[in-house]
């Protein structure tokens, strides 16, 4: 089977779906691998390293995709009119496409019409078997780390308490909103840098996780918050009354903070606004807010997705998108391993091709289209 790895063309996407490490292992599975020229440059991987790993370096997308039975991507392929190359039209019928496709019904129908069996890895269920192929977790972990590093770079003071002959500089007060994978990594990183860290999350299990990392818990708790988590471990959308009460507690706390890291996402929905205009206005000049949720609209009322802004009262708001892409070498390495694990889990060694049983929970979770039809429940019935 021929495996194609394309250069990512979507704006600000710096990652790549395979590394020389994973290319070697895919070739060992009995495949040939074609990597489009320049695919890994943004992640610090020159074409020569792919060639040394045994891959063919293709001059363009059309050459890489010619005869491919499996296509590895970070983000969805471009369609007609979306860029200089119609990647979707170049993917052979019958090929398996694997990536974080973020597909809606129209896109899924386009895959089906093209005869592409599309697998969207961000939809993998959060079960034990799927942990090592969980792209959301691997990328969120790095996003949480990077958020704190960028906050430290934008902050005009120091993270740790510094005692000098000229006087003492107090430790930075860091508040992390959302204690999922990204939030927990942000807490741990801020603590390692010497910050005084507190955090909040609506999920009941998060309180102990926050405390276990040495941070203090901040939040409003009631009967509703006890059921604020789905079976898959995601935060549920709660009532307007709960968010109003939570906002009161958070507002008083934010006014005292130097750095706020926002990581709160609700699966399949626009990110909730957790930091209002009034909260931002209450912060001290020189404070920094990092909004990891900017891709989904942002947790901060003043966030401009993709940009760094400075408010009238001197607060820096970092609303960059694609946070994992801001640490591309590490993000690509973990993402490529996630895809490799998925492939090896569902690989027919004798036929040397994927064998994905339709009744498997992981396969059901990620498969958008199969055999020319949209099969994912959330899209087929939309």
Q: Catalytic residue numbers?
A: 126, 131, 134, 137, 234
b/e sequence 257-277, b meaning 16+ C-beta within 10 Å:
bbbbbbbbbbeeeebbbbbbe
Q: Which of 356, 351, 352 is nearest to 370 (CA)?
A: 356
57-61: Cβ within 8 A, 24+ apart: 58/4, 58/34, 60/36, 60/85, 61/6, 61/7, 61/36, 61/85, 61/87, 61/90
For residue 217, what is the enclosing H or E element? strand 216-217
Residue 135 vs residues 144, 184, 268, 326, 335: alpha-carbon distances, Å: 14, 16, 16, 16, 6
Give SS3 for 216: strand
Q: Which residue, 250, 192, 183, is CA-closest to 219? A: 250
């Amino acid at each position: 089977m021929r495996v194609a790895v394309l250069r990512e063309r979507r704006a600000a996407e710096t990652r790549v779906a395979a590394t020389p490490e994973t290319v070697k292992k895919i070739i060992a599975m009995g495949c040939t691998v074609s990597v489009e020229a320049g695919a890994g440059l943004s992640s610090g991987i020159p074409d020569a390293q792919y060639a040394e790993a045994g891959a063919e370096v293709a001059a363009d997308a059309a050459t890489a995709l010619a005869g491919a039975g499996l296509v590895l991507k970070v983000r969805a392929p471009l369609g007609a009119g979306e860029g200089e190359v119609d990647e979707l039209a170049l993917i052979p019928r019958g090929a398996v496409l694997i990536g974080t496709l973020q597909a809606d019904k129209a896109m899924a129908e386009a895959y089906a019409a093209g005869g592409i069996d599309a697998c969207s890895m961000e939809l993998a269920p959060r079960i034990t078997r799927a942990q090592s192929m969980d792209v959301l977790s691997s990328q969120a972990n790095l996003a949480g780390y990077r958020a704190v590093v960028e906050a430290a770079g934008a902050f005009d003071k120091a993270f740790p308490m510094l005692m000098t002959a000229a006087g003492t500089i107090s430790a930075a007060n860091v508040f992390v909103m959302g204690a999922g994978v990204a939030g927990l990594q942000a807490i741990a990183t801020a603590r390692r840098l010497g910050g005084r860290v507190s955090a909040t999350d609506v999920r009941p299990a998060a309180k102990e996780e926050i405390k276990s990392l040495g941070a203090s818990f901040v939040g409003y708790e009631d009967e509703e918050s006890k059921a604020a988590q789905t079976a898959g471990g995601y935060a549920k959308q709660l009532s307007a009354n709960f968010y109003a009460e939570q906002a009161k507690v958070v507002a008083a706390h934010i006014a005292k903070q130097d750095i706020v890291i926002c990581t709160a996402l609700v699966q399949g929905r626009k990110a909730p606004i957790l930091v209002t205009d009034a909260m931002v206005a209450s912060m001290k000049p020189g404070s920094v807010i990092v909004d990891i949720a900017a891709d989904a609209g942002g947790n901060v009322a003043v966030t401009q997705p993709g940009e760094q802004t400075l408010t009238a009262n001197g607060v820096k708001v970092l609303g960059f998108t694609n946070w994992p892409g801001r640490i591309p070498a590490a993000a690509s390495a973990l993402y490529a391993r996630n895809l490799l694990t998925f492939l090896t889990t569902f690989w027919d060694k004798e036929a040397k091709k994927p064998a994905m049983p339709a009744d498997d929970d992981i396969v059901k979770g990620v498969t958008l289209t199969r055999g020319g039809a949209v099969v994912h429940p959330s899209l087929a019935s939309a």
